[in-house]
Amino acid sequence: MQLKSIEIIGFKSFADKTLIKFPGGMTGIVGPNGSGKSNIAESIRWVMGEQSAKNLRGSRMPDVIFSGSADRRSLGMASVTLTLDNSDHFIKTPFDELKLSRKLFRNGDSSYYLNEKQCRLKDITDLFMDTGIGQGSLSIISQGNVEQIFNSKPEERRSIIENVAGVYKYKQHKSTAQKEIDETTDNLNRVEDIISELQ
C-alpha cells in the first residue's frame, strides 16, 4: 500500500486545486514558516475522518475551509482526495487503487466518498482500522505529539500499544457487543415486567 497523491481544494491555505504526488521512496516537503506544510499533513488526517477541529488547530470544523486572504475571498467548500495504491491488498478490499474523499461546506454539510461513491464515515474507519494509517493513528505525528506521548498516562500509552498491536479492533467489537447485550437484557426485563403485570 502506498500513498500516491493528494488533491486539495479549498482546505486551509490551499485555495486553488493542488495536486501533490508521492512518487515512491521518501518524499520531503520543505517551505518557509507558515507556507502550509502542516496543513498538508492535516489534510490527510482530515480525509481519513478526523472529527476534532482542535486536532486540526481550529475551533469548529468549518475553520478548515479557506477563509480568505488579502487578495482572495473566502471559499464555501473544502475538499480533499487521497489516492492510495492498494495493489498488494494491504487494506482488505478488492480494489487495487483506493480514492478517498471528504467534502465540507460552510453550512456544515459534509460527505465522504470511497472510489467516488458516497459512503459513511464508518465505512472509512472500518477500512483503516488496525492498518496503522487510520484516524488517530500514529502514522502522522504532528508538532507537539511526541511530547504528549511522553507525558501521557500509562493507560493512554497502553491504548497506543494496543492500537499498534491490532488489539483495538477487537476491543471495539467487544464493547459494541456488550452494549447490544445490555440493551437486550433491558428489553427482556421490560417484557418480564409486562408479563407479570398481566398475570
Binding site for ligand ATP (CB under 6 A): 12-13, 31, 33-39, 63-67
Contacts of 196 (CB under 8 A, 6+ apart): none
* Closest by Cα among 119, 137, 36, 134 to 84: 134
74 assigned binding-site residue: no
Please, which residue, 62 or 127, has the CB nearer to ligand ATP? 62
Please, which residue, 63 or 193, has the CB nearer to ligand ATP? 63
Least distance from C-beta 37 to ligand ATP, angstroms? 3
Least distance from C-beta 165 to ligand ATP, angstroms? 31
Least distance from C-beta 2 to ligand ATP, angstroms? 23
CA-to-CA dists, residue 2 to 23, 77, 83, 101, 144, angstroms: 9, 27, 9, 16, 26
Please, which residue, 12 or 45, has the CB nearer to ligand ATP? 12
Least distance from C-beta 28 to ligand ATP, angstroms? 13
32 assigned binding-site residue: yes
Burial bucket for residue 140 (CB in 10 Å: 0-12, 13-18, 19+): middle
DSSP assignment of 132-161 equals T-STT-TTS--TTHHHHHHTS-HHHHHHHH
25 assigned binding-site residue: no
34 assigned binding-site residue: yes
Could you list the residues known to form a binding site, using ranges: 32-39
